[in-house]
Structure 1
Amino acid sequence: MSDIIQLLPDAVANQIAAGEVIQRPASVVKELVENALDAGATEITINIKDAGKTLVQISDNGSGMSPTDARMAFERHATSKIRSANDLFAIRTMGFRGEALASIAAIADVELRTKKADDEVGTFIHIIGSEVKTQEPAGCNNGTNFMIKNLFFNVPARRKFLKANSTELKHIIWEIQRVALPNPDIKLSLIHNGSPVYDLPPANYRKRLVDVFGRSLNQSLINVDEDTSIVKVFGYIGQPKYARKTLGEQFFFVNGRFMRHPYFHKAITQAYEKLLPPDTYPSYFLFLELDPEAIDINVHPTKTEIKFENERDIWPIIHASIRESLGKHNVVPSIDFDQSGSIDIPVPKKDGEGVRFPEIQINPDYNPFDNEKQFAERGYSPFEKDSAGQGRSSSPGSGREKKKLDNWEDLYQGAQLKLKPEPEYRESAIQADDLYATAPGQFSGKKVLQLKQRYVLTPVKSGLMVIDQKRAHERILYEKFMEVLKTDSVASQQLLFPQTIELNPADSALLKSILEDLLSLGFDIREFGKDTFIINGTPGVLDISSPELILEKLLEEYKTSPVDARAKAKEQIAASLAKASAMDYGTDLKQEEVDHLIDNLFACATPNFSPDGKKVLTIISTDDIEKSFSK
């Protein structure tokens, strides 16, 4: 029998490996921008078309490459960042594996122009699907210019699963934010379909945050700065009153690299405990600096999961630094008199500073037997004699306690509970017929209870139905919006006084990408200058008192909603708008409003789940209720 195991061709192996490194256009942007940073660039321009599906062009003024290095850069596991395995434990660069360019070249049409400052001419390389088409000298600027065209042209299955342009643009913007925030001294520009999205000049950390997320963020920022022997923690957190409904503005960076760390995230949320409004999340932009040998970034291809050698020591430092910063801004008490649970943060010692020993002071004139004179003056002695003439110890309060014992019965007076007589049990006045609907699907007229202004309880034949009122409202609105989108004819209710809204560059680009679909839903929104829009009308099917707030919530929900890869853009917009427009928890509903909510819910095609797949209702069976009382 002949051998059947063979080595795959390099082109096929590269396509397979590319699936781990390059998932979408945003992955290309991330890898190439990080390479530009490692090359010492101070200016980086990202130009994309069709959310990166057609073109991703990234140019920088970094060190550039020689002709040999330019060709070698496209070989798998070819890198200038490390030389041995020991270097993996002291990485200070953004990249180090040497996989990105080989992966990109395997699934796209790539053009590279690069030139070192000392060279007279640069190098041009053209690669399609891992096959080098051209390599020749060329005139170009100092630095490097990559043009990535037709991403996934030879992997149609992967290209088919790319999402709508608005979603892919959203992911590109996230990657730019993760690079821009820890590198405020770098000039960054992002252009999409010829329109500028970001134009970020060099700045300090606070100014960079405001440039990225908008001027409204500036008023909510609280400075954090804690330097210890283990880790340095600095950056900004948001005031509790500006907490958001979504997790969009939460960033951790370690040594300039973005990371996700649920354990450290919990340190922050616990520091904000009892300070946030319900169902809100704090904003934070925290930077950690520590010895590169104390972390391991070689965990995941995206390098966003990082292991820490001493994360249990870092956790309380982060928690305490947040509490201290909140205390300095009078958000929490800055003085804690209960020190039993305080955290001892190690502080780096200054050069020449040793350990100070406490000075012991002795009073040679102190005589402990002088206290007997004080006892005698007060009418008692430390050693009294009982009736048998034997000495016994006495305390200053023993004489008073002896007097009180004469009326020991009084100790129990006032401690007796005045219990009200238990009311006699009587049968409920609710008749059995009231427990069930007179006809299937009819819920109006039933006995309905609203619990904690969050749940609606109503009896059904099998037991007790519990409905989440907010999720139920989301489902109703979602199906209403989807019906509207199918007809493409929605009445818009014009505002008496149009409202203007100013957005940050990322939200502005996102709104432009979904503006056409919003118009079909009944919104009348027009551009009104750079990153500014005017709201002239809202959907007639909604009773919107604050269009500006609804639009902001819509964008937040749209950015963070976990949508299935096959979902259409209109479905995502309808789901986001439904979630933004639905009633909040804590809304007190009248009986007719509850009846209307339940009837509309069970008129939906899918009443059991909200648009994002969360459970809307549950039924507690009669058997379970009876079992709970039989114990």
Structure 2
Amino acid sequence: MSDIIKLLPDHVANQIAAGEVVQRPASVVKELLENAIDAQATQIKLLVKDAGRTLIQVIDDGKGMTTTDARLSFERHATSKISSAEDLFALHTKGFRGEALASIAAVAHVDLKTRPEGEDVGTQIEIEGSTIKSQEVCACLKGTSIAVKNLFFNIPARRNFLKSDSVELRHIIDEFQRVALAHEGITFMMYHNDGELFNLPKTNKRQRIVGVFGPKTNEKLVPVTEDTEIVKIEGFIVKPEFAKKTKGEQFFFVNDRFIKHPYLNHSVSAAFDGLLPDRARASYFLFLTVDPKTIDINIHPTKTEVKFEDEHAIYTLLRAAVKHSLGQFNIAPVLDFNRESSMDTPYSYKNKSVEAPRIEIDRNFNPFDTVSPKSGYTGTPNYKKESTSGWENLYDGLEKHNKSSGFSSVEIEVEPEAESLFVEQESKGFGDKPLVESETANTYQVHNKYIVSPIKSGMLVIDQQRAHQRVLYEEFLRNISLKESVSQQLLFPLRLDFSANELLILDEIKDSLENTGFIMDRPEEGVLEISGIPAGIPESEVSIVLEQLLSDLEHEVPDTGFSQTDLLAKSMAKSMAVKTGEKLDDLSREHLVNKLFACTEPTLSPFHKKTFITLSVDELDRKFNA
């Protein structure tokens, strides 16, 4: 039998490694930015074209590389960060495995220019698919400029799996923000298709957060500080009233490295327990500093997951630190055991001496005396005893009256109906004004959740929330497709604050939103101005609808087409549908039932749940006869 095991060629091994390290353009951005930081750069520029498909270029003013180092940097497992296995437990740098540049070069065209300080000329290297095409001397600035072009040019299947430009750009912005937030001492700039997206000068942590997420963020931040032997915690949490349904603004950094850690996220959520609105998530920017020997960051190719030596202790300290900040800055309600100020001694009595009160009494007073006693006391009232003679006359004729009247003339005294202590919940209609109750109702509401309607064979039990979701879903689909939406104009436009990432998502679906009835504009950076909203949606709920939409689109914005329209219609129907627990009047119930059975698919909600069930008379009979 011949041998069948053989060594893979280097270029094949590099492409396999690239599958783990380079998943999308954002992965390249992350690796190149971290290399620039490790090179001790003070200014880093990121240039992107076509969301990274055409070009990703990072320019820094760091240490640069010699000709030999530049050539070796593209070899697998070639690194200047570690020299032995023990160094993995004392890492202070971002990259250390030496796979990033080799993996990137295996799936793209790479152009590297670098010059160390003290050298007159630099080195330029061009690589295509792990093959070095040229290496020559060049004139360039101190530092390194590396351009990655035509990503996945030699792996068409991987290139076809990339999402739309807006989705890929959003992932790139995510990686850029994570790196920029952790290194406020470095100037960062980002350009997309020659347009500037970010310009973040060197500053402190608070101002860096404000620079990334907009000026309105400053008033939302609450500082968190705690220093212990196990961990040093610093950063900011967002006030509960500004919490969103999206989880985009949740940042953990361990030793200036962004991580994802559900266990620590739970500790922060536990500290916010009882303070957040319904379904809202806590937002935070927390920086943890621990001894590198107590963590393991080499458990995932993207290095976004870490293991702590004592996770439980860090969990407890983090929750206590966040709770302390919430209480310290009067965010959380506290019990005040201080004395009541109304019981303090008035200021005018401060220097007065204490005097015993004087009490005057009439010792000769007798309430049973018919004549007032002869005393000098004038404050005692004169009690006059009424005569009790003739009390029998009160019952004259009573016996005769009872015999003649009988039970037919007995009157029962009824107390007048007292007003209710609580205001009844107003019946909700689907229009701007409550609908008038009809005199004869063919539908009934059970527990403000189900609508019961009789039919020939028995009865229908309809879930009011799911039914309304189906009705709204089909209406939005029709309005977006036919562009026949009705918009109600606002007298005073709404101004809502969103992050750069959220505005990118809204820009992607702007046309579809306008077809549903929204009229919006971008008067300034980070602000969305809404002058028109869909008919039937209250002005107070506009921000809730958009936040729910952003939450649904958080992971992925669908490509242009039906998938995008479908997701938008589902999200808005979920936000605007009548909720379980809301009382509906008769006409609203009738209207909902009629609308439901006019739909093309009345049996299922947009989320594939039953909208109604039927109970036949036979089924009811069996239940009674069981």
What TM-score comes out, normalization by structure 1 length? 0.73
Partner residue of 2:543 out of 543, 546, 549: 549
2:483 is the counterpart of 1:482: no
2:500 is the counterpart of 1:505: yes
Alignment correspondent of 2:523: 528
Matches within 5 A, 1:461-476: 467=463, 469=465, 473-474=468-469, 476=471
- With over 3 angstroms needed to count, the CA separation of the structure-2 counterparts of 1:288 and 1:531, relative to structure 1, is closer
- Rounded to whole Å, the distance in 2 between the matches of 1:627 and 1:294 is 67
- With over 3 angstroms needed to count, the CA separation of the structure-2 counterparts of 1:83 and 1:223, relative to structure 1, is same
> 1:260-298 deviations in whole A, cap 9, x for unaligned?
111111111111111222211121111111101100111
Alignment correspondent of 1:158: 158
> 1:279-322 deviations in whole A, cap 9, x for unaligned?
11121111111101100111111111111000111111111111
Please state whether the residue corresponding to 2:182 is helix, strand or coil: coil
* Contact 1:170/1:559 (<8 A) preserved: no
- With over 3 angstroms needed to count, the CA separation of the structure-2 counterparts of 1:167 and 1:447, relative to structure 1, is same
Matches within 5 A, 1:588-599: 588-597=583-592
> 1:589-627 deviations in whole A, cap 9, x for unaligned?
44444554565556666678776x585769799999999
- Rounded to whole Å, the distance in 2 between the matches of 1:106 and 1:476 is 52
- With over 3 angstroms needed to count, the CA separation of the structure-2 counterparts of 1:486 and 1:151, relative to structure 1, is farther
- With over 3 angstroms needed to count, the CA separation of the structure-2 counterparts of 1:3 and 1:577, relative to structure 1, is same
Alignment correspondent of 1:70: 70
Please state whether the residue corresponding to 2:236 is helix, strand or coil: strand
- With over 3 angstroms needed to count, the CA separation of the structure-2 counterparts of 1:272 and 1:594, relative to structure 1, is farther
Q: CA deviation at 1:332?
A: 2.9
Alignment correspondent of 2:110: 110
Coordinate RMSD, CA, aligned: 3.7
Output the amino acid matched with 2:42. T
- Rounded to whole Å, the distance in 1 between the matches of 2:57 and 2:510 is 26
- Rounded to whole Å, the distance in 2 between the matches of 1:280 and 1:208 is 25
- With over 3 angstroms needed to count, the CA separation of the structure-2 counterparts of 1:450 and 1:193, relative to structure 1, is farther
Alignment correspondent of 2:268: 268
> 1:211-238 deviations in whole A, cap 9, x for unaligned?
1112222222111101111111111112
* Contact 2:164/2:559 (<8 A) preserved: no
Unaligned regions of 5+ residues in structure 1, if any?
338-443
Alignment correspondent of 2:93: 93
2:446 is the counterpart of 1:449: yes
Alignment correspondent of 1:398: none
Matches within 5 A, 1:145-544: 145-332=145-332, 445-451=442-448, 455-456=449-450, 467=463, 469=465, 473-474=468-469, 476-488=471-483, 490=485, 492-539=487-534, 543-544=537-538
* Larger deviation, residues 76-85 vs 482-491: 482-491
- With over 3 angstroms needed to count, the CA separation of the structure-2 counterparts of 1:557 and 1:70, relative to structure 1, is same
- Rounded to whole Å, the distance in 2 between the matches of 1:557 and 1:26 is 21
Q: CA deviation at 1:466?
A: 7.5
* Larger deviation, residues 519-528 vs 42-51: 519-528
* Contact 1:210/1:218 (<8 A) preserved: yes
- Rounded to whole Å, the distance in 2 between the matches of 1:78 and 1:609 is 58
- Rounded to whole Å, the distance in 2 between the matches of 1:558 and 1:67 is 49
- With over 3 angstroms needed to count, the CA separation of the structure-2 counterparts of 1:286 and 1:7, relative to structure 1, is same
Q: CA deviation at 1:30?
A: 1.0
Q: CA deviation at 1:37?
A: 0.9
Please state whether the residue corresponding to 1:448 is helix, strand or coil: strand
Q: CA deviation at 1:16?
A: 2.0
- Rounded to whole Å, the distance in 1 between the matches of 2:556 and 2:60 is 34
Aligned residue pairs, count = 519
Structure (1 or 2) with the larger CA radius of gyration:
2
Alignment correspondent of 1:137: 137
> 1:82-125 deviations in whole A, cap 9, x for unaligned?
11111111111111111111111111122111111221111111
* Contact 2:496/2:529 (<8 A) preserved: yes
- With over 3 angstroms needed to count, the CA separation of the structure-2 counterparts of 1:488 and 1:617, relative to structure 1, is closer
- Rounded to whole Å, the distance in 2 between the matches of 1:142 and 1:482 is 56
Output the amino acid matched with 1:281. R
* Contact 1:328/1:334 (<8 A) preserved: no
- Rounded to whole Å, the distance in 2 between the matches of 1:606 and 1:61 is 61
- Rounded to whole Å, the distance in 2 between the matches of 1:55 and 1:41 is 21
- With over 3 angstroms needed to count, the CA separation of the structure-2 counterparts of 1:489 and 1:222, relative to structure 1, is same
- Rounded to whole Å, the distance in 1 between the matches of 2:225 and 2:601 is 50
Please state whether the residue corresponding to 1:101 is helix, strand or coil: helix
* Contact 1:557/1:579 (<8 A) preserved: no
Please state whether the residue corresponding to 1:153 is helix, strand or coil: coil
- With over 3 angstroms needed to count, the CA separation of the structure-2 counterparts of 1:225 and 1:568, relative to structure 1, is same
- Rounded to whole Å, the distance in 2 between the matches of 1:326 and 1:490 is 45
- Rounded to whole Å, the distance in 2 between the matches of 1:324 and 1:142 is 47
Output the amino acid matched with 1:167. V
* Contact 2:537/2:576 (<8 A) preserved: no
- Rounded to whole Å, the distance in 1 between the matches of 2:579 and 2:443 is 24
- With over 3 angstroms needed to count, the CA separation of the structure-2 counterparts of 1:3 and 1:28, relative to structure 1, is same
- With over 3 angstroms needed to count, the CA separation of the structure-2 counterparts of 1:570 and 1:21, relative to structure 1, is farther
- With over 3 angstroms needed to count, the CA separation of the structure-2 counterparts of 1:447 and 1:584, relative to structure 1, is closer
Please state whether the residue corresponding to 1:136 is helix, strand or coil: strand
Q: CA deviation at 1:484?
A: 3.5
Matches within 5 A, 1:29-68: 29-68=29-68
- Rounded to whole Å, the distance in 1 between the matches of 2:623 and 2:151 is 60
Please state whether the residue corresponding to 1:177 is helix, strand or coil: helix
Output the amino acid matched with 1:181. L
Alignment correspondent of 2:393: none
Output the amino acid matched with 2:30. K
* Contact 1:244/1:282 (<8 A) preserved: yes
* Contact 1:115/1:122 (<8 A) preserved: yes
Output the amino acid matched with 2:242. Y
- Rounded to whole Å, the distance in 2 between the matches of 1:6 and 1:501 is 61
Alignment correspondent of 1:19: 19
What TM-score comes out, normalization by structure 2 length? 0.73
Output the amino acid matched with 1:553. E
> 1:365-384 deviations in whole A, cap 9, x for unaligned?
xxxxxxxxxxxxxxxxxxxx
- With over 3 angstroms needed to count, the CA separation of the structure-2 counterparts of 1:457 and 1:115, relative to structure 1, is farther
Please state whether the residue corresponding to 1:181 is helix, strand or coil: helix
Please state whether the residue corresponding to 2:140 is helix, strand or coil: coil
Q: CA deviation at 1:258?
A: 1.0
* Contact 1:458/1:465 (<8 A) preserved: yes
> 1:50-79 deviations in whole A, cap 9, x for unaligned?
221222121111111111111211112111
* Contact 1:563/1:572 (<8 A) preserved: no
Matches within 5 A, 1:575-594: 575-579=570-574, 581-582=576-577, 587-594=582-589
